[in-house]
Chain A
Amino acid sequence: MNHSDDLRHIAECPSCRQRFSENVLPFDAERRRETAREFLATAFAMERERNSAADVVDRHLRDTPIEEWPGLAESQALRNNAALEQLSEEVRKRLERNPVQALAIANLAASIAESLPASAYPAIVLGQIRSTALRDRANALRYLGRLDEAYDSIATAEARLDAFPGAAHDRAIVWLVKAMILGQMDLFDDAEGMITAASDIFAEVNDSPRFLQAGLIHGNLLNNQKRYEDAQQVFRDLLSVAILGRDVEMQARLHNNLGYCATSLDDYGSANIHFSQAIARFTDLGFTGEVARTERGAGLVLIGKGQIDLGMARLSEARQTFAGLHMPEEAGLCALRLIEAMVERGQTDEARTLAASVVEEFTAAALDARAIDAVTRLHASLDADGATAEAVRTAHALVKSLTVDQAPAS
């Protein structure tokens, strides 16, 4: 091994760390001892809080009606870092399925964090606590499409860290959420700048999961701008990183995304290979929902290639899996694509029956009234023999636009 002062080498080599450190002697040893004592006192206090918090948040949320959650900000048991960490986890768990509840919890956390006294923790820890709560709030608002409020919240989260050079990792995560908000506001250049800056920090602190996540978001931003080849390149680069890091889940997701890019570029052969790779990996991991999503992608590709029967079989399978997983929107989207194929083939009776099922499923799941209305109107047109493939595509586009289609960032 070649020993050197290169920082990557120093991170790996204990003897070089020792040698490099020995060249700097403390100017004020007593001050160092004092700061060490302060650090240890804070570390022990935070660990004690974590050990004693157990399931405090879960209990409070379970035992309190949702409309009374804001009042929990006064509860002493929740006014500490450990409880706020649990609240953050609760927000994350609810983002996809119940963003309204996620926002209610994020508001509670932000209200607690912002009102903690300055003496509760060292300034940087307090900054991190407040920034995390505001970032969660921004993320929940983003899910609900309240982008201006989301932007204000994330800007405040960023400002809470301004005074602390040592909070690099927290800052990068804030930038990632900010990039997603900017992306949704169609400010793509600003979003890309944020992602690049965040990726640099994730690489620097060796946070490969978030580095890959930032790359995925970047690829998706490019994809949303219809820059399919650029997106494909980003996903390919990430795939090599995921393979090196033996991150099977990430490999599966990247293959899935590459499948969609290839579809957009009309490269169906390559798309089919990527989807098969993704399905194989998701199956190994036992991720049933993801297998269904990928099946749907493969079905769409086969239909695109003119393999209608095979494609419809795949879509039906995906639809059944989604329904079994209680994911009515996804199941409905599969059904609408099947209806389109049926209309094109003149199978109006089958299309009508399927449309009626979708109306029932959407109604039972109390989905957005506009989605139910769109499918009901489609069903009525099929009844009157007036539905065209274009009408089905319009209904599909509307339902898709109403689904929550964004990813969380921790």
Chain B
Amino acid sequence: MPVNVITAGTLDPGIADLAPIVPDCDAGELAFDRLYEDNLSLLVAIAMRKFQVPEVDAEGLAHEVFYSYLKRKDEIRNLHAWLIGAICHACRYFWRQNGRRTEQLDQGMAMLRPDPASAGILDRLPAQIAARDALEALPPRYKEILRLRYFEGYSIREIADSLGVTVKYTQKLVVKCLRRAEQTFNTAPARKKP
């Protein structure tokens, strides 16, 4: 480099060079009033609907964004874009902070209050293992269809779309796969029925 390009090219445009963007915000008290009234519900709605932030926290975040605006107002070029950008970042930051604050599970309490999903697991386990064996023995296409329908929770229409066939044909296909799985399950050797 003949000269340092930082000197040559990165002079700060500076706050003073940025034209005020919200002309009516300097109009006085009415402007602040209107700014708050017109946009509070929008910011709370974004926090709640787009980021699932609880209402009380959503209001707190919106409030912070408005305060933050007071300090930066002379350099904001597009008010709504700024407010929306700020609340989106605030929500993501909120969840990052919230995630960090999540307390570790108390092992003692966990023993006293077992996960309902694991209740009676010993009774169900042999049947589940047998079902898995039956699935494993199916042709790949059958196995994939049953996986989509019963493990991934896809609707018949979604499976039809992914296979590129009609809904009616997909219904028949699922029934066929189930029958085939049942046959495999019943005819499997050396397995004790539950």
Contact = CB atoms under 8 A, between A and B. Distances in A.
Interface in B80-112: 80-82, 84-91, 93-94, 97
Nearest to B32: A43
A204 B88 contact: yes
B67 A122 contact: yes
A209 interface: yes
Given A12-B80, A20-B46, 14 more contacts: A10-B80, A125-B71, A128-B68, A128-B71, A165-B90, A167-B64, A168-B85, A212-B13, A216-B9, A217-B6, A223-B5, A293-B3, A408-B11, A410-B12
B129 interface: no
A129 B29 CA distance: 22
A409 interface: yes
Contacts of A166: 61, 63-65, 67-68, 86-87, 90
A337 B86 CA distance: 49
A201 B3 CA distance: 31
B44 interface: yes
Interface string B1-18: 111111111111111111
What does DSSP make chain A's interface, helix, strand, loop or mixed? helix
Contacts of B4: 400, 405
A201 B16 CA distance: 21
Contacts of A404: 7
Greatest chain A CB density within 10 A among B45, B71, B94 is at B71
Interface residues of B, number: 64
Given A166-B65, A260-B2, A125 B70 contact: yes
A272 to B, nearest CB: 14
Given A166-B90, A260-B5, A46 B68 contact: no
A209 B64 contact: no
A28 B40 CA distance: 14
B77 A207 contact: yes
A305 to B, nearest CB: 13
Greatest chain B CB density within 10 A among A42, A168, A410 is at A168
Contact of B89 (A36, A201, A297, A407): A201
Given A46-B70, A223-B1, A260-B1, A23 B88 contact: no
Interface in B57-82: 59, 61, 63-68, 70-72, 75-78, 80-82
Interface stretch (A248-256, A344-352, A368-376): A248-256
A220 interface: yes
A315 to B, nearest CB: 11
B40 A206 contact: no
A249 B66 CA distance: 31
Interface string A84-114: 0000010010000000000000000000000
A257 interface: yes
Interface string A291-314: 001101100100000000000000
Contact of B8 (A170, A204, A297, A337): A297
B49 interface: yes
B41 interface: yes
A263 B4 CA distance: 13
B26 to A, nearest CB: 9
Interface string A367-410: 00000000000000000000000000000000010011111111
A165 B71 contact: no
28 contacts: A7-B46, A12-B80, A21-B45, A24-B45, A24-B49, A35-B59, A39-B63, A89-B15, A128-B71, A164-B64, A165-B61, A166-B63, A168-B85, A168-B86, A168-B89, A169-B82, A204-B85, A207-B82, A210-B13, A216-B10, A223-B5, A253-B11, A300-B2, A400-B3, A404-B7, A405-B7, A408-B14, A410-B14
Given A20-B45, A207-B75, A254-B9, A170 B68 contact: yes
B22 to A, nearest CB: 12
A206 B82 contact: yes
Interface of B: 1-18, 28-29, 32-33, 36-37, 40-42, 44-46, 48-50, 55-56, 59, 61, 63-68, 70-72, 75-78, 80-82, 84-91, 93-94, 97
Contacts of A409: 12
Interface in A144-177: 164-170
A27 B18 CA distance: 39
Nearest to A203: B85
Nearest to A27: B55
Given A170-B71, A256-B8, A410-B14, A204 B89 contact: yes
A357 B15 CA distance: 39
A386 to B, nearest CB: 26
B94 A17 contact: no
B68 A206 contact: no
A36 B40 contact: yes
B77 A206 contact: yes
Interface in A183-210: 201, 204-210
A46 B85 CA distance: 24
A46 B69 CA distance: 12
A80 interface: no
B13 A213 contact: yes
A212 B66 CA distance: 25
Interface string A255-296: 011001101100000000000000000000000000001101
Interface string A331-350: 00100010000000000000
A374 B37 CA distance: 65
